[in-house]
Amino acid sequence: MNLTLKIWRQKNAKDKGGLVDYKVNDVSPDMSFLEMLDVLNEDLINKDEEPVAFDHDCREGICGMCSLYINGEAHGPDRGVTTCQLHMRMFKDGDTIYIEPFRAAAFPVIKDLIVDRTSFDRIQHAGGFISVNTSGNTIDANAIPINKHDADTAFDAATCIGCGACVASCKNSSAMLFVSAKVSQFALLPQGKIEATDRVLNMVKQMDDEGFGNCTNTGACEVECPKGISLENIARMNREYLKASLKG
Amino acid sequence: MALDSKIPEGPIADKWTNYKNNINLVNPANKRNIDVIVVGTGLAGGSASATLAELGYNVKAFCFQDSPRRAHSIAAQGGINAAKNYQGDGDSTYRLFYDTVKGGDYRSREANVYRLAEVSANIIDQCVAQGVPFAREYGGYLDNRSFGGVLVSRTFYAAGQTGQQLLLGAYSAMNRQIGRGKIKMYNRHEMLDVVVVDGKARGIITRNLITGEIERHSAHAVVLGTGGYGNVFFLSTNAMGSNVTAAWKAHKRGAYFANPCYTQIHPTCIPVSGDHQSKLTLMSESLRNDGRIWVPKRKEDVEAIRSGKLKPKELKEEDRDYYLERRYPAFGNLVPRDVASRAAKERCDAGFGVNATGEAVFLDFASAIQRYGKEQALIHHLDVNDAALVKKLGQEVVKNKYGNLFQMYEKIVDQDPYNTPMMIYPAVHYTMGGIWVDYNLMTTVPGLYCIGEANFSDHGANRLGASALMQGLADGYFVLPYTIGDYLSNDIRTGPISTDSKEFEEAEKGVRDQINHLINNKGTHTVDHFHKKLGKIMWNKVGMARNVQGLTEAIKEIKELRAEFWKDVKVPGTNEEFNDELAKAGRVADYLELGELFAKDALHREESCGGHFREDAVELDGEQKGEAKRDDENFAYVAAWEYKGEPSDAVLHKEDLEFKDIELKQRSYK
């Protein structure tokens, strides 16, 4: 199939940027979206034009490095996938596709479609851990039985890949789904309860300091999350936050 | 230089304990005066950074991704082995040690493997304490599953995302130390050289991938946890950015490169669909717990399936060839990866491949869905004869175990694996070879350490499933933090290492010269053009089956391709900006050297062992007819190559492998 791409080009963080039109021909429906961009880039380099910069690495939907806002949706029109898992069979011959970076004040553009998501890392530095040193002499792993339902729910929250689709999809650029996934994982496990108060207060404070917006419960984040992270996590974090604030 | 593996004296079970009791320690106040550079933030690098920082060292950690959480360990699916014996099925440290040495086809170092098995149980305790949500049974205790090449259930897992959960555990431990200021994190930085001062590794040169800035970083020791080099084949299950550059630069600075030809071709990957393909996707080995591998017995059925006239699930049971169960009754579908991959290739070469390209076999879950469905119906007092109900219940169990893998498959292939068997084919996955290290995990350059997949030490010629995660975390959490202390105890009075020395200057100049050359070359072909060509040579001539003629041709062709690359590569843009093509060009330049050494190593090793299969080294008769033939008399050694300019000039050093605790015998899974 043949496609028209309207791609956001921006030289660097200071540049204003804008959409540029490109044509790609003979796209196979079995190609992934990023493989289609590879073909475009190969073509651009051969024509002495500058290739389009985009983030990607594992290309199997788990590293969270790829982003892209495609036709107004984070990771494009398919559900439950990252951009690297999006296949061209989701599009039709003759389509025009808009490709933009994830946009948020806390995700400044580095170049073209690449944004800086280190604000996510800094939120994790503030409390996304259990304080246990490496000794090998902690108690035996089976000494703390954990209810399977709780363990499975903690796991579901822990599958967040930190891509930022939730922020890009939110009209307020809120990072609540991302932060609540980590808070929930630890809130559901006995190991995480000891530092629960500090964790939620510190992570939320850092989230606010980074300039992410407030949550108004639109639920767009859950819809666009490639890993199906549930809104229940936000409710759980709100409970944790209330508990912590009352204690504090 | 003679290779000294520095294996401690004494019985194998006591070596590590005795070693730890006798090494030099650095007192906590002195640790604050010592800097350590860790390159790579996967399971090995991430766990090492966190642990060294907890101990009090000043850690500088580097990764090329935008966050340490994105290192490719994140993509490991199936699980992590540990000799916990939670299932009471006869597991022990010795048995894990034995399985790993046998699985590696007797080409690994006994003492290292025993230590790995010994610390394996600590890893699980540590990860649970960090809040890693492993799969659990209804009683609340940890669940296990089986992997290839073993007869016990010792694999801990978190659905099909075990690597993700373990890496996020290590990442969280790093975050705690970053927050305390004990780790200084440099993301989007690529290491482009090691700096050796007075014979010791004292720093690295990096390129900031956003600004292009070339930076000097110094430390008292340098640790590489930079992963494997599977992308030398262009197509592999590795991430797009996975590369050999850090390890190769270390090799050029004096670190010997060991057994480069030991590469793991993983049997269960999604087959190649076309020339546009940029990477291959693994379907976890854990699927072989429940999936049965087969091809049709008759060629006419193969044709009918290829042309779509016959649906695979319609083919009668007696017309299917479950070739692994047929050839290896004791291990069946759970033979080790090298054996399973060769068996798939054998069937496909014989014309039984089930897709259009003839390079695919089936991995079928229908009988597992039946088995689980009936069990669930019994547990819940439902009608076991209701076929639709049983199927539904069975699918739910399978979804719970492998849901994310099935979803990945469906998205890529556009077929529903709950209702039709998966199609799979072997693909490059892991490299057992790597930088040579001694028992301390130190390379042949003093003060330069290498951990995880990047080193060569624990998996011999073939790695067993669920052992990579084990090794990465063992090295980073429990081995390196001890061994590096012994070395650093000599550096408590050294003081900060200056970056103004001529060694740093010379290294930086070398890096700049190479970048300038690439940028100014203005050739006619893109980096990917060369990378794909190299990949084709490697896959066709240095792939799953190797012979003298093919390897000799490969060496010549790679050399020519390398010359062409330097003459004709085209890198757009400048250094002083985000420039992915420039980063890729540097990596491919190194692959073009490694590839030749890889082929040279494969040519010199005139035996078949593990992932290295030579067509001229095969059992000719008896029960093992057609199986790989090892030659212990002549090749029971580690081949460690010393850099001498061109890969063809590399000098071979041998570390003889002694097997004192395990009897050397033919590996049989029959």
Measured CA to CA, the distance from residue A9 to residue A11 in angstroms comes to 7
Supply the DSSP symbol for B349: I
Given phi > 0 = left and psi -120 to 50 = alpha, else beta, which region is B607? beta
Q: Please, what's the largest Cα pairwise distance for chain B? A: 80
Residue partners of B580: CB distance under 8 A and separation at least 6: A51, A53
Measured CA to CA, the distance from residue B449 to residue B480 in angstroms comes to 8
- Closest by CA to B635, choosing from B614, B661, B621, B660, is B614
CB contacts of B165 in chain A (<8 Å) are 155, 158
> Can you give the pLDDT of all 248 residues of chain A as single tens digits?
999 999 999 999 999 999 999 999 999 999 999 999 999 999 999 999 999 999 999 999 999 999 999 999 999 999 999 999 999 999 999 999 999 999 999 999 999 999 999 999 999 999 999 999 998 888 999 999 999 999 999 999 999 999 999 999 999 999 999 999 999 999 999 999 999 999 999 999 999 999 999 999 999 999 999 999 999 999 999 999 999 999 86
Q: Which two tokens stand for residue B120?
A: 């394996």
Measured CA to CA, the distance from residue B660 to residue B316 in angstroms comes to 50
Contact A32, A86 (CB under 8 A): yes
Angle (nearest 5°) at CA B442 between B513 and B243: 45
Nearest CA in chain B to A86: B411
Nearest CA in chain B to A228: B404
Compute the Cα dihedral for B663, B665, B669, B670 and give only its sign. Answer: negative
Q: Which two tokens stand for residue B290?
A: 């429940």
- The proportion of chain B whose per-residue pLDDT surpasses 70, expressed as a percent, equals 100
Element at B559 (helix H, strand E): helix B548-568
Query: For B198-317, where are the E strands, in sequence order?
Result: 200-208, 214-218, 221-224, 257-258, 263-269, 292-296
- Closest by CA to B635, choosing from B619, B621, B617, B649, is B617
Pairing type for strands B257-258 and B637-642 reads antiparallel
B133 closest CB neighbour out of A46, A81, A189? A189
Residue A119's alpha-carbon distances to A123, A127, A138, A222, in angstroms, are 6, 13, 32, 20
Measured CA to CA, the distance from residue B390 to residue B462 in angstroms comes to 39
- Closest by CA to B559, choosing from B635, B646, B669, is B646
Residue at A153: amino acid letter: T
The pLDDT of residue B534: 98
CB contacts of A32 in chain B (<8 Å) are 278, 412
pLDDT beneath 70, residues of chain B: 1
B269, HSE (Cβ side, Cα atoms, 13 Å): 25
Chain-centre distance of CA B536, in angstroms?
21
Question: How confident is the model over A138-194, as pLDDT tens digits?
Answer: 899 999 999 999 999 999 999 999 999 999 999 999 999 999 999 999 999 999 999
Residue at B579: amino acid letter: N
CB contacts of B172 in chain A (<8 Å) are 124, 128-130
Q: Is the minimum CB–CB distance between A235 and chain B shorter than 8 Å?
A: no
A129 closest CB neighbour out of B172, B240, B478? B172
Q: Which two tokens stand for residue A123?
A: 């939120």
- Closest by CA to B203, choosing from B35, B67, B436, is B35
* Domains with residue ranges and CATH for chain A: 3-111 (3.10.20.30), 117-247 (1.10.1060.10)
Measured CA to CA, the distance from residue B420 to residue B105 in angstroms comes to 35
Measured CA to CA, the distance from residue A37 to residue A5 in angstroms comes to 10
Burial of B308 (0-12, 13-18, 19+ CB in 10 A): exposed
On average, the pLDDT of chain A sits at 97
Residue partners of B505: CB distance under 8 A and separation at least 6: none
Question: How confident is the model over B220-230, as pLDDT tens digits?
Answer: 999 999 999 99
Give phi and psi for B156, each to the nearest 5.
-90, 145
Angle (nearest 5°) at CA B214 between B212 and B219: 135
Q: Which two tokens stand for residue B403?
A: 């849901």
Q: What CATH code would you report for B504-636?
A: 1.20.58.100
Question: How confident is the model over B23-54, as pLDDT tens digits?
Answer: 999 999 999 999 999 999 999 999 999 999 99
Residue in this structure with the two tokens 């014979």, named with its chain if needed: B199
Measured CA to CA, the distance from residue B347 to residue B628 in angstroms comes to 16
Q: Is the minimum CB–CB distance between A25 and chain B shorter than 8 Å?
A: no
Asked if B172 lies within 8 A of A111 by C-beta distance, the reply is no
Residue in this structure with the two tokens 């062709």, named with its chain if needed: B557
Contact A21, A5 (CB under 8 A): yes
Nearest CA in chain A to B185: A121
Tell me the angle at which helices B580-604 and B527-541 cross, rounded to the nearest 10 degrees.
20
**Shortest distance, CA A161 to any CA of chain B (angstroms):** 9
Classify each residue of B168-201 as buried b or exposed e, where b means 16 or more C-beta atoms within 10 Å of its C-beta: bbbbbbbbbbbbeebbbbbbbbbbbbbbbbeebb
Give the count of beta carbons closer than 10 Å to the beta carbon of residue B644.
10
Q: Provide the 3-class DSSP secondary structure of residue A133.
A: coil
- Closest by CA to A59, choosing from A32, A84, A33, A30, is A84
- Which residue spans of chain B are classified as CATH 1.20.58.100? 504-636
Residue partners of B122: CB distance under 8 A and separation at least 6: A136, A137, B477, B478
- Closest by CA to B237, choosing from B288, B285, B290, is B285
Contact B219, B497 (CB under 8 A): yes
Q: Provide the 3-class DSSP secondary structure of residue B84.
A: coil
Given phi > 0 = left and psi -120 to 50 = alpha, else beta, which region is A6? beta
**Shortest distance, CA B611 to any CA of chain A (angstroms):** 24
Q: Provide the 3-class DSSP secondary structure of residue A165.
A: helix
The pLDDT of residue B490: 96
Q: Could you give the residue numbers annotated as active site of B?
A: 337
Measured CA to CA, the distance from residue B629 to residue A208 in angstroms comes to 63
Q: B270-365+392-427: which CATH topology?
A: Flavocytochrome C3; Chain A, domain 1 (3.90.700)
- Which residue spans of chain B are classified as CATH 3.90.700.10? 270-365+392-427
On whether the pTM is more than 0.90, the answer is yes
Chain-centre distance of CA B306, in angstroms?
33
CB contacts of B142 in chain A (<8 Å) are 141-142
CB contacts of B572 in chain A (<8 Å) are 45, 48-51
The pLDDT of residue B670: 86
Nearest CA in chain B to A121: B67
Element at B110 (helix H, strand E): helix B110-130
N- to C-terminal Cα separation, chain A: 60
The pLDDT of residue A43: 97
Write out B9-59 in H/E/C secondary structure: CCCCCCHHHHHHHHCCCCCHHHHCCCEEEEECCCHHHHHHHHHHHHHCCEE
The pLDDT of residue A110: 98
The pLDDT of residue B278: 94
Contact A99, A109 (CB under 8 A): no
Asked if A45 lies within 8 A of B273 by C-beta distance, the reply is no
Asked if A191 lies within 8 A of B239 by C-beta distance, the reply is no
